[in-house]
Amino acid sequence: MLYQRSSRLFAEAEQVIPGGVNSPVRAFKAVGGKPIFAKSAKGAYLYDEDGNRFIDYINSWGPMILGHAFQPVVDAVKQRAELGTSFGMPTELETQIAALAVAMVPNIEKIRFVNSGTEACMSAIRLARGYTKRDKIIKFAGCYHGHSDSFLIQAGSGAVTFGTPNSPGVTSGTAKDTLLAAYNDLQNVSDLIDANPNEIAAIIVEPVPGNMGCIVPKKGFLEGLRQMCTDHGILLIFDEVMTGFRLAKGGVQELFNVKADIVTFGKVIGGGLPVGAFAARSEIMNYLAPIGPVYQAGTLSGNPLAMAAGLAMLQALNDDSGVFNRLEEKTAYLEKGIRDVLNQNNIDFTINRVGSMISVHFDAEPVYDFKTAAKGDNETFRKFFHGLLAEGVYIAPSAYETWFITDALTYDDLDFTIEAIRKVSATL
C-alpha cells in the first residue's frame, strides 16, 4: 500500500501540532512508521487519504460499536445542528439521555455529562473526596483513567508506550495522594488500606482493563474490592469509559453482578462525539454543585449535538436485544481463528478476551496485570501490526491496547482478517 498523501499531511501537521497529532498514541511511536490520515469511514471500513481501505479494529477507540457513520447517529446530529449547536442552557435532550442511561445501568440514580472520559474520572474522584472527606485514592498499575494529574501514575497504553508513567508536570504533592496497587491482587489492596487507615476516599478501577491489553478479572477480585470498600467506608469507582455500553447494556456491574458506588463513562456513550459522564446513587450525586458543595462545571457539557449523538447510540443499543450477544459471538469467532493460526505457526502468545474486548499478547505466559502485560514481545507486535496494515487490517498501534470489535463486522470480514493474520504469522 502507498501512503504518499498521508506522509505529506503528517509532515504538514508536524509543523503546527506537537508530534503532528492531538493524542499521542495516534503517532505510531510504539510501532514505528508514520500515521495514516483518515478520510472517511462507513460500517466496518476505514478509508485513508490515499484511497486505501482497512477493516477497522480501533473504531475511534470504541465509540463506533455499531459501525462508522451509523445512520441514526448521523441523522440525529444533522437534525440537531439545524436547531443551533450550543446554548449554555438546559435542553430536554439532556434529561432524555440521562433517563435512558439511568434505566440501562444498574445502581445509578443520577448522571452528569461532561466532554471526555478524562473529565468524568477527574470529577468522580473529586466527588468521592468531597463525599468521604478523605484525600487518597488507590489506582491500579496499567489502568488508564484519562490524563488528569492524579491518574498519570503508571497509566497504561499511551503513557506506558511513551515511557512516562510519572509524567513531568504532575506535582509530587498530587502523586503522593495516589496509591498504586497491582490489578488482580487483593492482598496488595488490603495492605494499602491497612497502611492508610481512614485516609482512602476511593478505589478507582477499570473493572475489565483494556489499557494494558485486555485483562480478565480473576474470580472474586471485583467482589473482594467491593467488600473492602464497604468495610472501610471507601467508594468504589468503576471506570467504565471503555466497558460501559460495550460488555453489556449495564456494563461490568451487570456482567459480573458487582455494585460500584460511582461509575464513569465515555467512548460509546457519545456515539462518536466528545462525551463523558459520571453517575451514582442520588445521595452521592447530590454532593455536586449547584445543590452540593463539590464544584464541577462545563461550558459545553451536555452540548446538544453530543447529546443527540449519544441518545441515538444508547437508544439503538437499548432497542436491540441481540447486539451484545452478536458482538460476543463475533469476537469469539475471531479469537478462535487467531488461536488456530498462531498455533499452526508455533508462535508464543496469550489471548485475553471479555465479550467484544480482545487482545493478543506475544508471550506464552498468562497475562493478568501490568507486569505480565509488559513482558510481551514488542518487536513481534511491531511486525504483526505493520503486516496486518499491509493486508488492509487496522489494529491499534500499540501492544498495550485492546481491539474494539464493531457489530458492523460481517463473518466475511472476520474471515478476511483471520486470513490476513495467517499470512502475517508466517513471517513473524
Ligand X SMILES: *Cc1c(COP(=O)(O)O)cnc(C)c1O
Q: Is the dihedral of CA 183, 181, 62, 413 positive or negative?
A: negative
Residue number, nearest CB to ligand X: 117
307 burial type by CB count under 10 A (0-12 exposed, 13-18 middle, 19+ buried): buried
- Going through 240-384 in order, the beta strands assigned E by DSSP cover 262-265, 276-280, 350-354, 357-361
User: Quick check: is 407 catalytic?
Assistant: no
144 binds ligand X (CB under 6 A): yes
For ligand X, the closer of residues 193 and 277 by Cβ is 277
For ligand X, the closer of residues 124 and 323 by Cβ is 124
70 binds ligand X (CB under 6 A): no
Residues β-bridged to residue 358: 353, 403
251 binds ligand X (CB under 6 A): no
Check 136, 139, 249, 267 and give the catalytic one.
267
User: Quick check: is 348 catalytic?
Assistant: no
Sheet holding 262-265, edge to edge: 110-114, 276-280, 262-265, 235-239, 200-205, 136-140, 178-181
For ligand X, the closer of residues 349 and 368 by Cβ is 368
Q: What are phi and psi of 97, to 5 degrees?
A: -70, -35
Contacting ligand X (CB under 6 A), which of 65, 121, 225, 228? 121
For ligand X, the closer of residues 52 and 60 by Cβ is 60
User: Quick check: is 239 catalytic?
Assistant: yes
Q: Which region, judged by CB under 6 A, interacts with ligand X, from 29-37, 85-93, 139-147, 416-424?
A: 139-147
3-state helix, strand, coil in the chain (%, to 5): 40, 15, 40
Secondary structure of residue 282 in the 3-state scheme: helix
- Going through 356-408 in order, the beta strands assigned E by DSSP cover 357-361, 393-394, 403-404
Residues 252-281 that bind ligand X (CB under 6 A): 266, 276
**Residue type present at position 374:** A
118 binds ligand X (CB under 6 A): yes
Contacting ligand X (CB under 6 A), which of 76, 228, 242, 388? 242
Size of the site for ligand X (CB under 6 A): 15
Contact 248, 289 (CB under 8 A): no
Shortest Å, Cβ 205 to ligand X: 9
Contacting ligand X (CB under 6 A), which of 137, 241, 248, 421? 241
For ligand X, the closer of residues 48 and 239 by Cβ is 239
Shortest Å, Cβ 4 to ligand X: 30
146 binds ligand X (CB under 6 A): yes
Residues β-bridged to residue 280: 110, 262
Q: What residues make contact with ligand X under the rule CB under 6 A?
A: 116-118, 121, 144-146, 206, 210-211, 239, 241-242, 266, 276
